[in-house]
Chain A
Amino acid sequence: MFLNIRILFVTLLFSTATFAQQTETEIEKDTTQEASGSGTKVGSVTVGAYLPIAFGENFVNDGMDLKMGAQVQLKLNVLGDFYIGPAVSFFFADVTNRNLVGNYDEMSNLVLGGLIGYEKQVERFDLSIGLGVGYSGYFNKGFGDSFEDNATALWLRPEVSYKLANYVSIYVAPELRHDFMNIDVPSELKDTFGGVNYFNVGFGLRINLGTGYKFQ
């Protein structure tokens, strides 16, 4: 867990530093941009729904009914078309097989992490692929007490966005994610509690940051 938080902080620090540099450069280049008709692409913010779909033999897929959640992601272009940024997502679930997972009722999953990736614009489309890592918390609630399971999440996230206006796009992003669970179990339960596979789908609104999006 501490490793995940450290990774997150390093990512955020790096993102902030880069963003600050980008802003300074933007002011200097503003006149040039107007003249040349290009501009600076600072990055984007995506906010949208998050549809979790677990698969394989694991306690989430076999013992829970997953509900929709949401995700927020900030992409900051750092080197040409390469970007980094923080990402947050969450979703909810009801326990359906207490015999398999234990006697509790609900679970909320929260992922805090960072993403690194590459994005390319093709006419009104922005196509990107990113690799993310972060802390994944499973917050469980039952009759007697609340308790937590946690994991290190690793995910691959291709994204396609379509520009509706200069600074506004819609996006869809399928996501392949694996949570390496930190749950202590006897060897007989390793397959069920060792890790969880997801094929998640995110979709929603994207705000494009920077004048570079205006002229293309």
Chain B
Amino acid sequence: MKPYLYKFLLFSVVLLFSSCEKLEITNNERLLVKGKIVDQNGNAIPNIPIKTEASNYILAKTRTDDNGNFELTSLNANTDPLHVLVNIATSLYFENENTEYASKVYSSEGANKQLLLDMGTVTLNGLGTFSIFLKNLPGDTNTVEYTFSYASKVCRLPLEFNSNDVCEFDQSTQDFLEVNSQNRTISGESILGTVAIFEYKLNNEPKQTIEIPVTNPPVNYVFEY
């Protein structure tokens, strides 16, 4: 028993130290981060958390006021990328704090060199769902190879502020449906107003694409093969 215990302890210590990144804060520097948070209809959203973060350390944090405005003074990271987190509860797992809305994570490519981060008006869309039912028709001998991709609730963007925030399709799933595969439903939560992309090859024919809107309440689509 003892050797296992030692191995476990050693593994834990190695894991602990390997997960601790060293943060270097820039001397003699402060950033100003400011902006306004609205929903997809242009209404101000109060009490949304705004944070700056580098190497999993929070460098500054505040919340939007009743008019959706925020302003905070932040430290800057010397070498690591800087992230501005909008509506993120825990920076470690990137979970939304206000679950009615999507969240956004803006990241600098290298170390941030801008002193003023004026984000302007940031739109946080609400959340919706998509759903598609893949129905295997009895008697047909078709096969389907598919890829399903969509944007997660956390929209990742470069640290450049403009009104054209296009969220990456950072979630995907793929599979191959055989002749005798069971029916299945693919669904998920994503940002309201975006689409989920269903790409498929029926019997190894050229690829086809279907866009499934993310809606609230959800609309169920059926794909028969």
A144, A149, A183, A193: which contacts B57 (Cβ < 8 A)? Answer: A144
The residue in A99, A144, A146, A186 that gathers the most chain B C-beta atoms within 10 A of its C-beta is: A144
Q: Which residues of B contact A (CB under 8 A)?
A: 22-32, 55, 57-62, 72-75, 115-116
- State whether A102 touches B55 (Cβ < 8 A): no
B29, B59, B116: which contacts A103 (Cβ < 8 A)? Answer: B59
Q: Which residues of A contact B (CB under 8 A)?
A: 59, 98-104, 142-150, 182-186, 188-189, 192-193
Task: Tell me whether A189 and B28 are in contact in the complex, defined as CB-CB below 8 angstroms, given that A98-B60, A144-B55, A144-B57 are known contacts.
Answer: no
Given contacts A146-B25, A147-B26, 8 further A-B contacts (CB under 8 A): A102-B30, A102-B59, A102-B60, A147-B75, A150-B27, A185-B32, A189-B30, A189-B32
- State whether A184 touches B115 (Cβ < 8 A): yes
A146, A147, A150, A186: which contacts B32 (Cβ < 8 A)? Answer: A186
Contacts of A100 in B (CB 8 A): 73
- State whether A189 touches B73 (Cβ < 8 A): yes
- For the complex, give the distance between the alpha carbons of A193 and B60 in Å: 16
Contacts of B59 in A (CB 8 A): 102-103, 144
The majority secondary structure among interface residues of chain A is: mixed
Q: A99 to chain B: closest CB distance in Å?
A: 5
- State whether A186 touches B116 (Cβ < 8 A): yes
- State whether A150 touches B28 (Cβ < 8 A): yes
Contacts of B60 in A (CB 8 A): 98-99, 102-103
Q: B85 to chain A: closest CB distance in Å?
A: 13
Q: A95 to chain B: closest CB distance in Å?
A: 11
Q: Write the chain A residue with the least CB distance to B22.
A: A145
- State whether B115 touches A185 (Cβ < 8 A): yes
The residue in B26, B30, B72 that gathers the most chain A C-beta atoms within 10 A of its C-beta is: B30
- For the complex, give the distance between the alpha carbons of A126 and B73 in Å: 46
Q: B39 to chain A: closest CB distance in Å?
A: 24
Task: Tell me whether A143 and B61 are in contact in the complex, defined as CB-CB below 8 angstroms, given that A99-B72, A103-B75, A149-B27 are known contacts.
Answer: no
Q: Write the chain B residue with the least CB distance to A182.
A: B28
